[in-house]
Amino acid sequence: MSNPMRPPRAPRPSVSPSPLTRPRARQGPAPRSALPAAVLAGALLLTGCSDTADTESPGSTSAKVNPAAPTPSWAPVTGTPQVIPAVRDFRRADGRGWRPSRGARVVVPAGEKSNVADEAQLMARDLGGLTVVYGDQTVRPGDIEVKLTGNSGAGQANNVPVQGADDEAYTLTARGTRLTLTAPTDAGIFYGTRTVKQAVRAAGGLPEGTIEDRPDRPQRGMSLDNARKPYTQDWIEARLREIADLKLNQFQLHFSDDQGFRIQSDTHPEVVSADHLTKAQVRQIIKLARSLHISVVPELDSPGHLGAVLEHHPDLLLHRASGSVVPGAIDISNPEAAPLIDSLLKEMSELFTNPKGAPAYWHLGGDEYQALLSSTPATTYPQLTRAARQKYGPNGTLEDLATGWLNDRQKTVEGQGKNRIEAWNDGFFSSPAVSADKNRMVDYWTGKESGKRDPALFLREGRNVMNFNDEFLYYVLGEPNQFFYPTGQRIYENWTPRVIRGTQPVAVPSSMTGPDRIPGARFAIWSDRSQAQTQQQVAAGIRLPLAALAQKTWDPRTPALSWTDFKALANRV
């Protein structure tokens, strides 16, 4: 996604990478998942008992309260909950709040086979190994009760697909030394467990009162260019855990480009790079993502950025009238081009499975097709011109042909069950004869090269727009073409989901900029100069920008913390 023609711009401060510890698998306590030993030890020392009994905790209708159990004693947790992203609403109450203490348990009234059991088990491990108990148990002082609310709790499948931000809401109540976590779905329960984990890391516990929390934008995530720089399974899974703790819920995987095709293929093994993920590894990544309530968005880019595939199919490379080759571009007028790409799309669609009823994402790419950057396309690429006129009439254009190509690729993946289709903004054109499929979302990354349509135009014509603003959200290795490593501070202080292009909010009525039209944003890591940073340096460099993105997509209000305080909190949690 680099742009050789972008005009110069003033440098911005770069992130100073520092080493980052990689977490282990989710099956056991992990360095970045479990509490630091000092925090946990301090919490568990606070286990003196009082002789007073507590009244029933709010929301504890599914379990009994033991009035005879001793009440833990600890120093009151003060202030507001210390978490990233900040909670949307906190109603303070009088009391000591809640801290993890010796003998505290996680109580799951719905039982061991319920769809919140895995969230409860994860929280218990994160808090240093609390005991999890199931069914009609007594809720004792110091315990956490976890349960679903409303009709959605009955008979739900595990990791139930969410349909919007309301499904990700949760409530946490700390009262009388007990903690109650409720939500309409297990996704909401999961986000509540992230709040508990962070609050204990940052302040030792939660203050007395009730948190009502939900996200502003329903789609919040990270995109990774795994094609130009291969990343290991361990690295990817560590980032999944990291973004899950920040309540981000999407992971886009750009696995094919000019420099590499990084997933095992059985239909076309010749295109696969030596350093790649096996299908078994991809399935493990998908399984982990699903357990963390993260949707995976696969991207197989075409008709450009296909160099790794076309290296083994040179007869399909696009040629100019002069006979020179256009690197990475497939000749979409060649009748053998579509079957090759469709076979890869079908195979990869079968690999990237989706739970029944879940949004099934697929990214078509569509950006930087070099034929469309020519000042004289009709004469430079006469074969494309002939094909366009043959298919769309005497006035058919290259834009029509490229739009038709993506429409056909969309039909291919929709035939495999994908129903949330995306493409880059420079893959949408004002084509006179054919229009881009109306159900395709615009992923807006730049307005500086081909496809310079303002995001306002897409919103006005009724399309939804995902924010990938390359002024704020593009981490391009080696900083080529006037890119600079984005800083968390700049995102935190100057960006919102409405700032899609450049540095100013998109110029449309506010009714067009809500979560239903701009569903969110993804922070993109591009590997243009793959050796410029190690995997560890990338992990360190994206840490604060991801935290800032999480804050700005979760809560639409101006953040309460200064950047200095936010950064300090990010370092604690």
Question: Could you tell me the domains of the chain?
Answer: 89-213 (3.30.379.10), 219-572 (3.20.20.80)
Split at pLDDT 50, 70, 90, the class of 60 is very low
Split at pLDDT 50, 70, 90, the class of 17 is very low
How big is the CA angle at 502 (ends 501 and 507), to the nearest 5 degrees?
60
- Please name the amino acid found at residue 195: T
> DSSP E strands: which ranges in 462-528?
465-467, 474-476, 520-526
Whole-angstrom distance, CA of residue 365 vs CA of residue 297: 12
Write down the pLDDT at residue 464.
Answer: 98
Average pLDDT, the chain: 89
Render pLDDT for 399-453 as a digit per residue (tens, 0 to 9). Answer: 999 999 999 999 999 999 999 999 999 999 887 799 999 999 999 999 776 557 8
Tell me which residues are annotated as active site. 368
Split at pLDDT 50, 70, 90, the class of 330 is very high
The residue among 258, 147, 157, 241 whose CA lies nearest residue 194 is 241
- Is pLDDT of 494 > 50? yes
Write down the pLDDT at residue 150.
Answer: 59
Write down the pLDDT at residue 64.
Answer: 60
As a whole number of Å, the CA-based R_g of the chain is 25
Write down the pLDDT at residue 152.
Answer: 45
- Is pLDDT of 3 > 60? no
- Is pLDDT of 201 > 70? yes
Split at pLDDT 50, 70, 90, the class of 54 is very low
Write down the pLDDT at residue 356.
Answer: 87
Which residues touch 305 (CB under 8 Å, ≥6 apart)?
A: 256, 257, 258, 328, 365, 367, 368
Length reported for the chain: 573
State residue 26 phi and psi, 5-degree precision.
-70, -15
Which residues touch 110 (CB under 8 Å, ≥6 apart)?
A: 62, 116, 117, 134, 147, 148, 153
Split at pLDDT 50, 70, 90, the class of 476 is very high
Write down the pLDDT at residue 474.
Answer: 98
- Is pLDDT of 29 > 90? no
Write down the pLDDT at residue 97.
Answer: 97
Render pLDDT for 333-354 as a digit per residue (tens, 0 to 9). Answer: 999 999 999 999 999 999 999 9
- Is pLDDT of 171 > 70? yes
The bridge status of strand 420-424 relative to strand 440-444 is parallel
> DSSP E strands: which ranges in 214-270?
219-225, 250-256
Mean pLDDT of 255-279: 98
Write down the pLDDT at residue 34.
Answer: 52
Residue 375 vs residue 26, higher pLDDT: 375
Write down the pLDDT at residue 159.
Answer: 79
Split at pLDDT 50, 70, 90, the class of 35 is low
Render pLDDT for 105-159 as a digit per residue (tens, 0 to 9). Answer: 999 999 999 999 999 999 999 999 999 999 999 999 999 999 999 554 445 677 7
Whole-angstrom distance, CA of residue 63 vs CA of residue 306: 58
Write down the pLDDT at residue 451.
Answer: 54
- Is pLDDT of 19 > 80? no
- Is pLDDT of 6 > 90? no
Render pLDDT for 508-532 as a digit per residue (tens, 0 to 9). Answer: 999 999 999 999 999 999 999 999 9
Write down the pLDDT at residue 161.
Answer: 75
Split at pLDDT 50, 70, 90, the class of 387 is very high
Which residues touch 335 (CB under 8 Å, ≥6 apart)?
A: none
Whole-angstrom distance, CA of residue 107 vs CA of residue 118: 12
Whole-angstrom distance, CA of residue 572 vs CA of residue 198: 8
Write down the pLDDT at residue 357.
Answer: 87
Write down the pLDDT at residue 447.
Answer: 77
Which DSSP category does 38 fall into? H
- Is pLDDT of 16 > 60? no
